[in-house]
Amino acid sequence: MNKQPEKSANTVWHRATVTRQRREQKNAHKSAVLWFTGLSGSGKSTLAHAVEEQLHQSGMNTFVLDGDNVRHGLCSDLGFSDKDRKENIRRISETAKLLLEAGIITLTAFISPFKTERAIARSLMPHGDFIEIHCFCPLTVCEQRDVKGLYKKARLGEIKEFTGISSPYEEPEKPELRIDTSRLTLEESMQQVISLLRDRNILPLQK
């Protein structure tokens, strides 16, 4: 991975006249970052996209940052070493922060296995705007699902540093929401997320 360039002393943050608050008022809902984390196969992407679909149908402004999709563009130069995974999450965190300022409800679906990197992502957002959602699913169930065949390859040694097998996953200690995706249906899981957003007054704002 290339070394990060030094910051220029000649760059100054430009304060826009169109603020996050004005965008939220126009959208009639608050913005937030919903950070879905969990093992591969735990249902992060499926749940994030299902929540987005319901929010979109209700007129909310949303965007999903999906782990695989991001690695086709923004993070296409990164591998899966611990160092590259940390850089992957750093880039996603900064992107999510920009979308937060844009007044959008952003849903991120990444394994994001390390507590430190998730804590850094949280620290970038104003208090209360980062909602960590742990998609809990036992490793045995994730392996049984193995939609992409990745666990089989990892067990055979064809994939190195695979989370849950040869690389650790550090479970969140105090997520805003913990959903057992091995027991709940997609609909039940989705409604838990929507209920949390309503409880936190993220949607909707009164026009």
- Give the separation between CA 51 and CA 34, rounded to whole angstroms: 10
Cα angle 67, 71, 76 (rounded to 5 degrees) comes to 165
Q: Which two tokens stand for residue 201?
A: 């007054």
Closest CA to 74 of 84, 60, 62: 84
For 122, list phi and psi in degrees, rounded to 5. -65, -40
Which of 31, 40, 112, 189 is flagged as catalytic? 112
- Give the separation between CA 86 and CA 1, rounded to whole angstroms: 11
Closest CA to 55 of 150, 196, 160: 196
DSSP 1-49: -PPPPPPPTT--PPPPSS-HHHHHHHHTS--EEEEEE--TTSSHHHHHH
42 among known catalytic residues = no
DSSP 155-169: HTTSSSS-BTTTB--
Lookup result for tokens 């666990």: 151
Residue positions annotated with a catalytic role: 112
